[in-house]
Amino acid sequence: MSGDNAAPAHVLDVEGCLARFGGDKALFLEMLSLLTEDAPPLVAKLQDAVVAGDAPAIESKAHALRGLLANCGGLRAAHAAQRLEDTARGGDLDRSSALIDNLTVELEALTAAIHAYPS
């Protein structure tokens, strides 16, 4: 994702994720459940790091969140986390607030898509 400025089209890449999981829908649903449990605390820590202006913590938390999101098919939210990670790595903390706001919007869209997905 690094260096790619175009956001992915999919909020939730069901087909791609199922392909990675060998078509195992139960595993996919379990991963979505883990995502909805694990993402909020990570986001809270990331927001705290943004408020504190702690670039290494922003980079670390955004990286962890990006991995979780990408593994679960949350492509647009993962892209938003990647942008925040890259910005923190570059030391450009002035953009962090706007990027965390964008990440929050993408996470809300992802959460809605997860809740709308038939289980």
pLDDT digits 0-9 by tens, 11-35? 999 999 999 999 999 999 999 999 9
pTM of the predicted protein model: 0.88
> 95 lies in a domain?
yes
> 84 lies in a domain?
yes
The Cα–Cα gap between 58 and 83 comes to: 11
What six digits make up the tokens of 45? Answer: 């820590």
pLDDT, one tens digit per residue, over 59-92 is 999 999 999 999 999 999 999 999 999 999 998 8
The domain that contains 32 carries what CATH number? 1.20.120.160
> 87 lies in a domain?
yes
Angle at 17 between CA 108 and CA 9, to 5 degrees: 55
Range of the domain at 98: 14-116
Amino acid at 16: G
> 3 lies in a domain?
no
Q: How many domains does the chain have?
A: 1
> 38 lies in a domain?
yes
The Cα–Cα gap between 104 and 32 comes to: 17
> 5 lies in a domain?
no
